[in-house]
Amino acid sequence: MVERIDVRIPLPDGIELAAWLFLPENAEKPLPAITMAHGFGGTRHHSIEHTARRFSEAGYAVLLHDHRNFGDSGGTPRQDIDPHQQIADWRWAITYLGTRGEIDEQRIGVWGFSYAGGHALVLGATDRRIKAVYAQAPTVSGYETGLRRVPPHEVRALEERFHQDERDQLAGKPPVYVPFVDTDTSHGPLAAYPQKGAADFYLNRAPDDTWTNKVTLQSNRRARAYEPGQWISRIAPTPLLMLVAKDDDVAPADIALDGFNRAREPKKLVLTDGNHFLSYIQQFELASTVAIDWFDTHLRTAPAPTGEPAPLRPTSTRTLGHHPTDGK
């Protein structure tokens, strides 16, 4: 059995992050913990709770929060995404998690999917409170991905739209919004995610009253400049597991694999069939199982007392590919 507690995480600027804290009942405390957040344009209501519950059923405390400006968290403008602000906020979420009496603050791992997978890479490289990193279909390079989403002859016009939006906001106008997911580009500006798989996933799982299918135009500008892969070689010695979908057209597989190759040991790669979102759906069992195995390897053992060497733990020193054939 798992208990879900609604919590609010105060930030220094007065904003509060809404979060769920999942605690396994009758488990020995203090507990190892996993901190989680949703990806670009989504909320914690978009099919993440079942992953958090699965982790908690395996014996972990799990903190799952909405980023500022999204879901039940505070902040304006709504549906506005600043990756660097989200990472800064996530650090406070980790701090909050470490203050809970149920938690062993020396055994905290981070889980991120898609855009939050990129955040997990940055956090793993820059915050040594994180003892294990799991990045599922992560954003690795906004620049490289942007080259594929916007044809070169359209870049200048897009950049002018970015500039004009800033000039208008400086003059007191509200920010411009674009669709978050939309496969039909004939009736308006290009959506942040025009892929059919993205539209099917988000529109079919839209939570009531907490999500709108739009993001600020400036969110896309920041996404094109976001480079979490620059941090990937600095994650070591924190262990890194990366799950990559071979047919991913949202966080392209080849870009993710190039990033993984730059990571240092200890690291592990899991390759899956399918697109960006199948790890949430048909391949949920695979994705959750490999994540639990990874966290069990690196978070289950309590840290050694000061002055004593830590016990040796098995790590992966080579990449590992999973090629499921049954679609699950």
Judge whether 86 lies within some domain: yes
Please state, in angstroms and rounded to a whole number, the distance separating the CA atoms of residues 124 and 299. Answer: 14
Map tokens 């080849």 to a residue.
254
Confidence of residue 312 (pLDDT cuts 50, 70, 90): very low
Strand arrangement, sheet containing 2-10: 2-10, 16-24, 61-65, 31-37, 103-113, 130-136, 240-245, 267-272
Give the CATH number, domain containing residue 22: 3.40.50.1820
State the Rg of the chain over Cα. 19
Q: What is the pLDDT of residues 233-251, one digit of tens each?
A: 999 999 999 999 999 989 9
Judge whether 102 lies within some domain: yes
> The domain containing residue 294 runs over which residues?
2-146+226-299
CA dihedral 80, 124, 6, 76 (to 10 degrees): -20
Judge whether 258 lies within some domain: yes
State the average pLDDT over residues 258-273: 97
Selection from 152, 216, 223 nearest residue 189 by Cα: 216
Q: What is the pLDDT of residues 19-61, one digit of tens each?
A: 999 999 988 999 999 999 999 988 998 889 999 999 999 999 9
Judge whether 181 lies within some domain: no
Give the count of domains, the chain. Answer: 1
Judge whether 78 lies within some domain: yes
Judge whether 113 lies within some domain: yes
Rounded-to-5 percentages of helix, strand, coil across the chain: 35, 20, 45
Selection from 94, 84, 113 nearest residue 35 by Cα: 94
Res 280 pLDDT > 90: no
H or E, element range at 116: helix 115-126
Q: What is the pLDDT of residues 88-103, one digit of tens each?
A: 999 999 999 999 999 9
The neighbour count for residue 28, using CB atoms within 10 Å, is: 7
What residues contact residue 14 under an 8 Å CB cut-off, 6+ apart? none
Judge whether 265 lies within some domain: yes
Predicted pLDDT of residue 33: 98
Confidence of residue 279 (pLDDT cuts 50, 70, 90): low
286's tokens: 């695979």
Q: Are 303 and 131 in contact (CB under 8 A)?
A: no
Q: In this structure, is the dihedral angle defined by the CA atoms of residues 149, 153, 154 and 160, taken in order, positive or negative?
A: positive
Q: What is the pLDDT of residues 134-181, one digit of tens each?
A: 999 999 999 999 999 888 999 999 999 999 999 999 999 999 999 888
Q: Are 225 and 143 in contact (CB under 8 A)?
A: yes
User: For the whole model, what pTM was predicted?
Assistant: 0.89
